[in-house]
């Protein structure tokens, strides 16, 4: 589904800016971000390091406040974290002292759900990510891919309308990452949630996105929004996928050069 489908967008960013306070000149991380995300849309953020992709996710998650503009989720202005928005980081943020099941049901525990029902819910959620038998394991007994799947189960436990994923597969090997992409598409279909997914990998963007938002070097602005109108499952080697990947590479190249030039200047 796409944001132009006629329904009101699930998430809107209007002229969003973020300035980090510093001791010297104010540090503009994001400027003039306008973006609509439709219900059940898959949007990928692509941009050079330091352009503000994570910052924008944290603003949408309500973990940081916007400096200007507004973000709305489900028609309400975002003023803090909420169960309508789930966040998954690059390194899984599972609590090492809890079992996988306790981790997955952590949000339910905060909501006062009784232990027996929490365990049942954790097993059902873990089943969705193919890991029901890991309910009593500790996070350090899992592989990197399994940890990220458990983190997904935890994020899904409160039935978010938007999943915010900050380079969730960056630490995984290429084969595992490709499996996790297929798996994420299933989770996306099954949950009906919208996805906002940050990556540095152009092939990953082409594999996953309905639309790719390409950012400029800092201050992060939206340079271009590229629709990926390819049927799923996608063949990354098809001429259409290759042409889109080439187009995204061209869009990104200048921005990466600019970002590196600025880092050199600051050094």
C-beta separation of 181 from 169 below 8 A: yes
Q: Which part of the chain contacts ligand ATP (CB under 6 A), choosing from 44-52, 81-89, 111-119, 149-157?
A: 44-52
The answer to whether 54 contacts ligand ATP (rule: CB under 6 A) is yes
Q: Tell me: does residue 261 bind ligand ATP (CB under 6 A).
A: no
When the beta carbons of 63 and 113 are compared against ligand ATP, the nearer one is 63
Binding partner selected for residue 37 from Mg ion, ligand ATP, none, CB under the kind-specific 5 to 8 Å limit? none
Q: Is residue 54 within the footprint of Mg ion (CB under 5 A)?
A: yes
Copy the structure tokens of residue 117.
Answer: 């029902």
Nearer to Mg ion, 45 or 106 (CB): 45
Provide the 10 A C-beta neighbour count for residue 179. 13
Among 5, 7, 20, 133, binds ligand ATP (CB under 6 A): 20
Q: Which stretch binds ligand ATP (CB under 6 A): 51-59, 122-130, 206-214, 247-255?
A: 51-59
Binding site for ligand ATP (CB under 6 A): 20, 27, 29, 47, 49-55, 218
């Amino acid at each position: 589904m796409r944001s132009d489908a006629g329904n009101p967008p699930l998430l809107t960013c209007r002229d969003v800016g973020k300035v980090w306070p510093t001791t010297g000149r104010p540090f503009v991380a994001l400027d003039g971000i306008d973006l609509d995300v439709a219900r059940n849309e898959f949007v990928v953020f692509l941009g050079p390091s330091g352009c503000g992709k994570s910052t924008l996710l944290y603003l949408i998650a309500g973990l940081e406040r916007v400096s200007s503009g507004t973000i709305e989720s489900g028609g309400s202005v975002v003023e803090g974290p909420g169960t309508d928005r789930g966040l998954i980081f690059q390194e899984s943020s599972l609590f090492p002292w809890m079992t996988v099941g306790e981790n997955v049901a952590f949000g339910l525990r905060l909501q006062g759900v009784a232990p027996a029902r929490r365990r049942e819910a954790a097993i059902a959620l873990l089943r969705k990510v193919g890991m029901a038998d890991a309910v009593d394991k500790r996070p350090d007994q899992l592989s990197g891919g399994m940890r990220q799947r458990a983190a997904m189960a935890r994020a899904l436990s409160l039935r978010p309308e938007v999943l915010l994923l900050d380079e969730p597969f960056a630490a995984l090997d290429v084969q595992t990452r490709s499996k996790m992409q297929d798996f994420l598409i299933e989770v996306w279909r099954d949950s009906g949630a919208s996805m906002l997914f940050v990556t540095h990998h152009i092939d990953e963007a082409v594999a996953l996105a309905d639309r790719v938002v390409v950012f400029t070097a800092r201050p992060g602005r939206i340079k271009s929004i590229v629709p990926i109108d390819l049927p799923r499952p996608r063949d990354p080697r098809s001429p259409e996928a290759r042409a889109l990947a080439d187009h995204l590479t061209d869009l990104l190249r200048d921005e990466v050069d600019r970002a590196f030039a600025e880092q050199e200047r600051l050094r």
